[in-house]
Amino acid sequence: MLAILDVYQILVDRNALGDRDRLGEIFTDDVLLAVPGVVLSMVLIAVALSPAAGALSLAPGFDWQHALVFGALIAATDPVAVVALFRSMGAPRRLTTLLEGESLFNDGSAIVFFTMSLALIEGADSTASALLFQFLSIVGIAAAIGAAVGLCTSSLMRRQLNPLLEIVLTTVAAYGSFTAAETLHSSGVIATVVAGILCGNLGLRRGTAGSARTALETFWEYVTFALNSIVFLLIGFEVRLSQLLHYWPAILLAYCVVTFSRAAIVATAQLLLRWSQERFPWRWSVILTWGGLRGALAMVLALSLPPTFEYRDLVITMTFGVALISILAQGLTMSSLLTALGGVKD
């Protein structure tokens, strides 16, 4: 499921990753927001949420390790609807690329850190050198697998195959890279993202005919819609209205902490890029902060928590609540904010 969602965003969206200049922007700006941003978000959420939950007696015993797990799964953004709104309103191209490209990379890094944070609770080696080596090995192996699958698939796509075969190839690229990486105890999502980037730029842009491109767009758009719907249905089966009402202070606290951490990440990125060619105006910082919606990936990770996780029900409920508030509050007001801050082209 995660492989399909990620490869769709890369393969189908011609406007996002088909341009080499924009691809360069993603690697310079969005990797900064994704990997260091996910780490900073996790730390800020763990530092703020754990003592606050204890002080308000929301969840006795909810320590920093549990908060770190929640921080890892909620760190990944899901701005699909916001990106579509940006395009319909004529927002600057680079602003759209920043928000969209970040989500592609922070999905993979968030899943890696989520797995590592769960391992910490189970008593795994927690030294800095061990964690760094584990992260680099997971990412490195996944990137190599994704590159191999992406290059092979791209070479086949350039042979002008019929639309059905193109759909089969992209499906194999998604699941093949994901499964191969997971078999080697690496990150399937990162492998899929790398494979998708290569397929989107070397295969789709250079070799796919118009009819095949249309078929691919239609197929992956439907698959993504269906899988997102399934995710929301599954989380609906898990969460009860009584739980939402019982944990509403925790949900509100978690949403405030997550939003604050998002603002801190964007502000830090803007500060680091202030004297470089990749700098962006402060108005974009507000838009990027408010556009950091949480959605399907966070809920999938919450559902994947093992039954032995002590605060599983609380984390699932908080995740659903935060995603719901972000979609309603931020999603519905984004167009007004974009217009008010002058983020729309005349």
CB 204 within 8 A of CB 157: yes
> Within its chain, how far is the Cα of 257 from the centroid?
18
Distance from C-alpha of 346 to C-alpha of 336, rounded to nearest angstrom: 15
Distance from C-alpha of 13 to C-alpha of 167, rounded to nearest angstrom: 15
Q: Phi, psi at residue 78, to the nearest 5°?
A: -140, 75
Distance from C-alpha of 26 to C-alpha of 90, rounded to nearest angstrom: 19
Residue 207 burial by CB count (10 A; 0-12/13-18/19+): exposed, middle or buried? middle
Distance from C-alpha of 324 to C-alpha of 78, rounded to nearest angstrom: 12
pLDDT for position 30: 56
pLDDT for position 148: 92
pLDDT for position 182: 86
pLDDT digits over 263-308, tens only?
888 888 788 777 777 677 788 888 888 888 887 778 888 888 888 8
Which residues neighbour 246 within 8 Å (Cβ) at sequence distance 6 or greater? none
Residue 5: both structure tokens together: 């969602």
- Average pLDDT of the chain is 77
Q: Which residues of the chain have pLDDT under 70?
A: 1-34, 79-81, 101, 104-105, 123-128, 160-161, 203-211, 278, 343-346
Global confidence as pTM: 0.77
pLDDT for position 2: 45
pLDDT for position 3: 43
pLDDT digits over 82-138, tens only?
777 777 777 777 777 777 767 766 777 788 888 888 887 776 666 667 777 777 888
pLDDT for position 334: 85
Which of these, 292, 302, 297, 298, lies nearest to 327 by C-alpha position? Answer: 292
Which of these, 70, 51, 91, lies nearest to 294 by C-alpha position? Answer: 70
Set out the domains of the chain in order of their start, with CATH numbers: 2-340 (1.20.1530.20)
pLDDT for position 124: 63
- 128-152: burial string, b at 16+ Cβ within 10 Å, e else: eeebeebbeebbebbbebbbbbbeb
Helix intervals (H) in 158-209:
163-183, 188-198, 205-207
Residue type, 314: L
